[in-house]
């Protein structure tokens, strides 16, 4: 099963968009699926307020898990670099889908949606795969 298929399967089971993306990659970073499910629960449906798309937020979580030093006592902070990477991948998502906001993607106040939740999940998964490939991290699955 591909990662896109896994993420969509999670979504069909009832995972929110953020959980579907984040849980697809959690084991790559040593986080259990149950723990990631809990961490990402409040970020679905655009953080419950139709703000930043949950799939995009799940993508941000995966980038942070990869890029963060994880402990400021280990040395140099990675925050600025992580913010730079998140901004770049948010722009890639926006270039494809015209927005990163849940309400705009769902077409609230517009004639039609820009993108379905399933497509947002697929696009976020592909972008995380691209990010990992560009970093030289071996893909699993």
Q: What is the mean pLDDT of residues 82-109?
A: 97
pLDDT, residue 137, reads 57
Element (H, E) at 124: helix 117-135
pLDDT value of position 141:
38
pLDDT on residue 73: 77
- Domain ranges in the chain are 3-139
Residue 21 in contact with residue 3, Cβ under 8 Å?
A: no
Q: Using one digit for the tens of pLDDT, what is the confidence trace for 30-68?
A: 999 999 999 999 999 999 999 999 999 999 999 999 999
CB atoms under 10 Å from CB of 93, counted, come to: 22
- The mean pLDDT of 75-97, rounded to a whole number, is 94
Q: pTM to 2 decimals?
A: 0.92
């Amino acid at each position: 099963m591909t990662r896109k298929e896994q993420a969509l399967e999670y979504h069909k089971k009832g995972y929110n968009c953020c959980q579907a993306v984040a849980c697809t990659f959690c084991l790559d970073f040593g986080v259990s699926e149950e723990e990631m499910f809990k961490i990402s629960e409040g970020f679905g449906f655009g953080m419950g307020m139709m703000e930043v798309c949950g799939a995009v937020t799940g993508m941000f979580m995966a980038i942070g898990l990869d890029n963060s030093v994880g402990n400021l006592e280990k040395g140099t902070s990675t925050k600025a670099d992580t913010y730079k990477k998140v901004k770049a991948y948010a722009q890639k998502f926006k270039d494809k889908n015209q927005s990163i906001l849940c309400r705009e993607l769902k077409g609230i106040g517009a004639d039609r949606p820009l993108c379905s939740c399933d497509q947002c999940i697929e696009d976020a998964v592909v972008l995380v795969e691209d990010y990992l490939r560009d970093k030289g991290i071996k893909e699993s699955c």
